[in-house]
Amino acid sequence: MNIRATHLGSLQSAERRLFVRGVGVLSGVIALGSPLAALLPSRIWAVELRVLSSAEAAALLAMIRTIAPHDTLDDAAYALVVNAIDADAAASTQAHADLKAGIASLGDGFALMSEQVRVEHLKAIESGAFFQSVRLKTLLVLYNNPIAWVHFGFQGESFSKGGYLLRGFNDLKWLPEVPLADSGPMPLG
């Protein structure tokens, strides 16, 4: 038996436990009837966090859901925003400190507050750098992922597939049907 290999294995195991203890995990379950269930590999999702605790991530998720409220959009799409913000904070000590201070400014129990109370709280801080950075990251990440695309009926980028014109430009189900006479000519030669 190799004693050095055994010792190295126990050190790696101890380091892994310290890492897991110091890192948060944000997780949830996708409903069976959700179209996301077909898109994701399983109904259960988890986002590994580098600098945020699970409680901080839950508060941030509640903030993001309040900024961009879509009642039927699954938390997995919002968790991708939390993951992106967490990654930015892991890359910079200043961003890390700003994020921790911003989440602390939300107060204890922010994730458990009613939506109306969260909205009022966010209105009070909306001119600040923390709110604006989270809002911008929400817009950039939330609406640029396939989970949200499926939810909203968007087929995704089309440039690599030849453009939108001949690929279902008008097949969004939530738009009203336009009579053919009012739609104008097709711009094809």
Q: Where are the domains of the chain?
A: 24-156
Residue 181 has pLDDT above 90, yes or no: no
- The predicted-structure confidence for 84-131, as pLDDT tens digits, reads as follows 999 999 999 999 999 999 999 999 999 999 999 999 999 999 999 999
Q: What is the 3-state secondary structure (H, E, C) of the chain?
A: CCHHHHHHHHHHHHHHHHHHHHCCEEEEECCCCCCHHHHCCCCEEEEECCCCCHHHHHHHHHHHHHHCCCCCCCHHHHHHHHHHHHHHHHHCHHHHHHHHHHHHHHCCCHHHCCHHHHHHHHHHHCCCHHHHHHHHHHHHHHCCCHHHHHHHCCCCCCHHHCCCCCCCCCCCCCCCCCCHHHHCCCCCC
Please tell me whether the overall predicted TM-score, pTM, comes out greater than 0.75 for this model: no
